[in-house]
Structure 1
Amino acid sequence: MRSEVGSPSPQAITRPRRRYFRLWEELAVLTAHRGLCIYCLASSEVKDHVIPFARGGDDALHNLAPACDDCNDSKNDRTPLEFAAFRLSPGVWGRHGHPGSGQLVDEFDRFRRSYPVWMERIEITQIELLNRQRREWFRNDVSSTYFSSWPQPTIRVKAAIYRHFYGSHVAAAEKAGWPTESSAPFRILRPRDWHARSERPSDWVRL
């Protein structure tokens, strides 16, 4: 089925299937780009689909990037280009925001400067995520980490807890070139209060 302009209609587009992310993948994405949101440089909190899933993107690691909750929510189903344009101050389109006021020109100049910076950050992040040795390091290191809790925390909560306790460990591994020669030590993490379900990393302890 074709739309009026000759491109496939939304109903005819085959969507890739969603998949379950493993903890090592979650951490590999969230710690890329120094663990900072690629859009605003705040601490990363969530995986962002560079090309949104609703727009034909998939769950492959190279289509993911670290982002903060605010930027991820604001970007929604937009591409990076659309998100950059969306961030233009709404006030420039108002009654006093005509080009003669200088506001619109200034906003588009900010857009022209920021978008290439975002794309450079995305490309650097993609290189990190495609680094096979880095991926192997995360897979190996996380395999020996056990979360002693029932029910088990979500992958996102597990990643936050891991980063809370082992952020410096990850930084040291990056500095050493992601060594994978030796096995990671066995670790157990559990809630400070066994009967209280908490998603805050500070409420967990190492055994």
Structure 2
Amino acid sequence: MKLMTPWWVTPCSVTPGQDANPRHWLTATPLTSGLASDGSGNDASMKSALWKSLRFGVAQCRAGEGRLAMGRRRRRFMIWEWLAVLSAGDGSCLYCFSRSQTMDHVIPFSDGGADELKNLLPICRPCNRTKGKKNPVVWHVAMDLCLRWSGTGSLLDGAALGDKSLRELYLLTHQQVLEALDELEEVQAEVNDPGRTAWFRRNFEAYGYPSARFGVPRARAQFDKRIREGRAKGYPTAEEELPELLKQLGIGS
């Protein structure tokens, strides 16, 4: 019996000049061990081989993460970028709804997440520490499936919520994750909005990078009213703001 190699045995990244076709990676993998090509393999050997393949894939991914992290450097974000992210979603942490304090890489930087606005969302520091190097799906599922047991938990029952089984609890958590992703995607779309991004850049780029004298908390407190006004007006373009600016300067009628 011959099986197609699953996706997880392939390396996590392709180096420059390497063939993107995964077939050359599959010539020797743990998947083939314990399986006979003449149809004599049994379920036990197949399962054993698949688990070996999965462990091999995880090891490959971790090795790839290390190489990736070594070749990348985190960049500094300007004050306008900090303000653009922290003020999104009404300025609240997307996970606990307290006031946001820092920016979260939704897909962790160490896992290959982009170091750009499109991968950043507002978060408080306690949630940022707890989330760590996990994406929101892994974080939510891990917490939910670990914290919902009453002391009599088993595969078939014992969850604190309705005495559910592990399967039922997973399906419930799966639905909750989808709902959470809807909220995250909505705020991410706000952060990524080109008109909004242009408004923040135009109004706050001159303040440069955060410093000891003028950091993000001070900038946020100083510009909070201005940001709320800009939001109420739909983050107007430069042309739309020009008449009001001329009026403030006493130019024109």
TM-score normalised by the chain length of structure 2: 0.60
Q: Distance in 2 between matches of 1:113 and 1:164?
A: 37
From 202, 209, 220, the counterpart of 1:163: 220
**Counterpart secondary structure, 2:121:** strand
**Counterpart secondary structure, 1:58:** coil
What's the CA shift for 1:102? 3.4
From 211, 214, 229, the counterpart of 1:172: 229
Question: After TM superposition, where is structure 1 displaced by more than 6 Å over at least 4 residues in a row?
Answer: none
State percent identity of aligned pairs: 27
Q: Distance in 2 between matches of 1:77 and 1:12?
A: 16
What's the CA shift for 1:96? 2.3
Find the structure with the greater CA-based Rg.
2
2:124 corresponding residue in structure 1: 68
Pick the structure with more strand per residue: 1
Between 1 and 2, higher relative CO (CA 8 Å, sep ≥ 6) is seen in 1
**Counterpart secondary structure, 1:103:** coil
For 1:52-201, what aligned pairs fall within 5 Å after superposition? 52-88=108-144, 90-92=146-148, 95-98=151-154, 99-103=156-160, 105=164, 108=170, 111-143=173-205, 151-153=212-214, 158-181=215-238, 182=241
Equivalent pair of 1:38/1:67 in contact (CA under 8 Å): yes
Q: Once the two structures are superposed, what CA deviation does each residue of 1:143-196 show, in whole Å capped at 9, x if it has no partner? A: 45599xx8534xxxx2222222332321221121112424799xxxxxxxxxxx
**Counterpart secondary structure, 1:100:** coil
Equivalent pair of 2:150/2:159 in contact (CA under 8 Å): no
Pick the structure with more helix per residue: 2
Structure 2 unpaired stretches of 5+: 1-9, 12-28, 30-55, 246-253
Equivalent pair of 1:16/1:56 in contact (CA under 8 Å): no
What's the CA shift for 1:21? 0.5
**Counterpart secondary structure, 1:101:** coil
What's the CA shift for 1:49? 0.4
Number of matched pairs: 179
Equivalent pair of 1:16/1:58 in contact (CA under 8 Å): no
Q: Distance in 2 between matches of 1:115 and 1:35?
A: 22
Structure 2 letter corresponding to 1:27: L
Q: Distance in 2 between matches of 1:159 and 1:27?
A: 8
Equivalent pair of 1:33/1:121 in contact (CA under 8 Å): no
Q: Distance in 2 between matches of 1:162 and 1:180?
A: 22
Q: Distance in 2 between matches of 1:146 and 1:102?
A: 51
